[in-house]
Amino acid sequence: MGLSPFFFGVNKNMLNKRADKLELLRIAEAVALEKSIDKELIINSMETGIAKAAKSKFGQDNEIQVLINRDNGDIGIFRKLMIVEKPENINVEISLDEAIKLNEEHSNKKIGDEVLQPLPSFDFGRIAAQTAKQVISSNVREAERERQYNDFVDKKDSILSGIVKRLEFGNVIVDLGKTEAIIQKNEMIPRENIKAGDRIKAYCYDVRRETRGQQIFLSRAHPKFMEKLFIQEVPEIYDGLIEIKSSARDPGSRAKICVKAIDTSLDPVGACVGMRGSRVQAVVNELQGEKIDIVNWSEDPAIIVSNALSPAEVQRVNVDNVLKKLDVILTEENLSKAIGRRGQNVRLATKLMNYEINIMTDQEDSERRQIEFKEKTENFVKNLELDETLGQLLVAEGFSSIDDIKDSKVEALLKIEGIEEDTAKALIERAKEFYQKDQEEISNRIKDLGLENELINHTGLTPGMLVTLGEQKILKLVDFADLASDELTGGYDIVKGERVKIKGYLEDFALSKNEADELIMSARNKVYKD
């Protein structure tokens, strides 16, 4: 339906005809009903459009105001004038005497007030009509988009259902009834066959104001989509008896979801699976055959990771809650199961738990421990001038670094068998001397490497870290900001089908992935703040 036929100049005298005036109000009402927007806004848009068209008739210097009577459709066209003592521009100014001549009611006006001068009605030409139509169309579209936003902003974080209207450059446009939404190409399940006319479900992850294009953004690849499907299929989750703690997806391939029973009498995994797998199968079908591992939640990260790495059988887990790291030890035959195809199983488990997971065999763990023990012993022997036996004894008692000894109390060292008070005091003193000397050497080394002050002063980077970065030719804050967290912390990667350890620049400083992310993001905020 057109916004208003009279804008096309079908009848150039229509503004003067009562029937056409009433038709104008009927058009406004019909458009408001069709677009689900306020009738008053439509009429205001018409007033603005006619005013713009009138300017082309009476001159652009004039300030035109149009008033449409809401009852009978009468259209009044006025020129807005300011009362001044000596008018210089008759298009915008008028004397008080002339204003009173216009209307006796202006006798109570004073200098600086505004008055409206009636203008004669006019015939709409083609250009004027088109101008008015464009203004009205623009205002209506803007109002319609605002209405759409208000209607759907509360539906964010929920599943929406609609009909596939069309496909555009890999993106899917979905008809939701009153409006359209978009599923971008990267938010689709890979290799999913979608065509126009299909009914489709998707997760609404964002609703935002956009000047053009769709405002409602849907996803079928988002982990929350799977969670919402489980809420629909499992009444116990919907009723709050079972809680979804976290989820992770490799869309179209495999997913993991971690669940906790609020009601301890319930089996959360069994409830999610359903009778003969009916509940989980309904979710799998919607996700195009995506395999789903349902993991029972526990307070103990070691238990969760053991469940998450199924079908691999875990021997033991070393947990570091501070650095959020897990060392998972298992047999050689379970190694490939834990890692999964192309590292998929351990990658999903990492996302599920938000812990860094290191998979290793018994032999690798033993070798790692031996290397760490030897390195720590050699550090004590070399820098504190100790014999090897005493160095090994300190490591065995849990002292990992010279800083541990420097910051310890004499009483703590006396608890170690074979260490007397004089020895304990001497150890602490030597540790403090080494620390002081080491800090001086590090400061000199930082100067020699030529690190910029902006990087040196970056919060969170220790002198030792700065030296390591400098040796890797990372000398500026902008260089540091361009790094990824894995480049700092290290990790594992799959190269030609084999799991390979990648050493991070700051791996020796026990930096967690979250800490690395914070360091890099704060650097980016400084570098790219403009």
Give the CATH number, domain containing residue 186.
2.40.50.140
Q: Is residue 346 part of a domain?
A: yes
How far apart are the C-alpha atoms of 464 and 207, rounded to whole Å? 46
1 or 344, which is more confident: 344
Burial of residue 275 (number of CB atoms within 10 Å: 0-12, 13-18, 19+):
exposed
Torsion angle of the four alpha carbons 246, 248, 254, 256, in this order, in degrees rounded to the nearest 10: -20
Residue 139: how many CB atoms within 10 A of its CB?
A: 19
Whether the per-residue pLDDT at 211 is higher than 70: the answer is no
User: Which amino acid type is present at position 489?
Assistant: T
328 and 237 housed in the same domain: yes
Query: Residue 38 to residues 29, 43, 143: CA-CA distances in angstroms?
Result: 9, 9, 9
Mean model confidence pLDDT for the chain: 82
Dig out the tokens for 173 from the structure.
């446009």
Dig out the tokens for 50 from the structure.
């006619």
> Is there a contact between 181 and 204 (Cβ–Cβ < 8 Å)?
yes
67 and 173 housed in the same domain: no
Q: Is residue 250 part of a domain?
A: yes
List alpha helices for 274-419, DSSP H: 278-286, 301-308, 332-339, 344-353, 362-383, 388-396, 402-406, 410-414
- Sequence length of the chain is 530
Q: Is residue 17 part of a domain?
A: yes
78 and 196 housed in the same domain: no
Instruction: Give the three-class secondary structure for 357.
Output: strand
Dig out the tokens for 237 from the structure.
């989750």
How far apart are the C-alpha atoms of 355 and 353, rounded to whole Å? 5
Residues 446-473: pLDDT tens digits? 888 888 888 888 888 888 888 889 888 9
249 and 165 housed in the same domain: no
Given 147, 171, 187, the domain boundary residue is 147
Query: Mean of the pLDDT values across residues 272-297?
Result: 92
For residue 385, what pLDDT band results from cuts at 50, 70 and 90?
Answer: confident
257 and 205 housed in the same domain: no
> Is there a contact between 247 and 226 (Cβ–Cβ < 8 Å)?
yes
Dig out the tokens for 36 from the structure.
């689900």
328 and 217 housed in the same domain: no
Give residue 396's pLDDT.
Answer: 85
Give the CATH number, domain containing residue 123.
3.30.1480.10
Whether the per-residue pLDDT at 18 is higher than 60: the answer is no
196 phi-psi bin (left φ>0, alpha ψ -120 to 50, beta other):
beta
Dig out the tokens for 171 from the structure.
């993106």
Order of strands across the sheet with 291-296? 242-250, 254-261, 291-296
Give residue 188's pLDDT.
Answer: 92
Given 147, 169, 204, the domain boundary residue is 147
Give residue 492's pLDDT.
Answer: 62
User: Which amino acid type is present at position 135?
Assistant: V
Helix (H) or strand (E) holding 102: helix 96-102
How far apart are the C-alpha atoms of 137 and 132, rounded to whole Å? 9
Query: Mean of the pLDDT values across residues 139-163?
Result: 79
Give residue 19's pLDDT.
Answer: 42
Whether the per-residue pLDDT at 272 is higher than 90: the answer is yes
Give residue 36's pLDDT.
Answer: 67
Ramachandran angles phi, psi of 320, nearest 5°: -120, 95
118 and 19 housed in the same domain: yes
Given 186, 221, 256, the domain boundary residue is 221
Burial of residue 322 (number of CB atoms within 10 Å: 0-12, 13-18, 19+):
exposed
Displacement of CA 482 from its chain's centroid (Å): 20
Q: Is residue 430 part of a domain?
A: no
List alpha helices for 384-458, DSSP H: 388-396, 402-406, 410-414, 421-449, 453-456
Q: Is residue 375 part of a domain?
A: no
506 HSE (CA, 13 A, CB side)? 29
Give the CATH number, domain containing residue 503.
1.10.150.20
pTM above 0.75, yes or no: no
Q: Is residue 253 part of a domain?
A: yes
Query: Residue 429 to residues 384, 402, 409, 410, 418: CA-CA distances in angstroms?
Result: 10, 11, 11, 11, 18
How far apart are the C-alpha atoms of 239 and 216, rounded to whole Å? 28
Omega into 311 within 30° of 0, i.e. cis?
yes
Domain hosting 460: range is 450-530
392 or 44, which is more confident: 392
267 and 193 housed in the same domain: no
How far apart are the C-alpha atoms of 425 and 505, rounded to whole Å? 35
Q: Is residue 307 part of a domain?
A: yes
Non-local (6+) Cβ contacts of 289 within 8 A are 252
110 and 199 housed in the same domain: no
Give residue 287's pLDDT.
Answer: 92
Q: Is residue 171 part of a domain?
A: yes
286 and 215 housed in the same domain: no
How far apart are the C-alpha atoms of 269 and 293, rounded to whole Å? 9
Residues 311-326: pLDDT tens digits? 888 888 988 887 788 8
Whether the per-residue pLDDT at 226 is higher than 60: the answer is yes
114 and 165 housed in the same domain: no
Give residue 17's pLDDT.
Answer: 45
Residues 440-453: pLDDT tens digits? 888 888 888 888 88
Displacement of CA 154 from its chain's centroid (Å): 18
Tokens 């030719």: give the residue.
Answer: 473
Number of domain units in the chain: 4
Dig out the tokens for 490 from the structure.
């290290």
36 and 141 housed in the same domain: yes
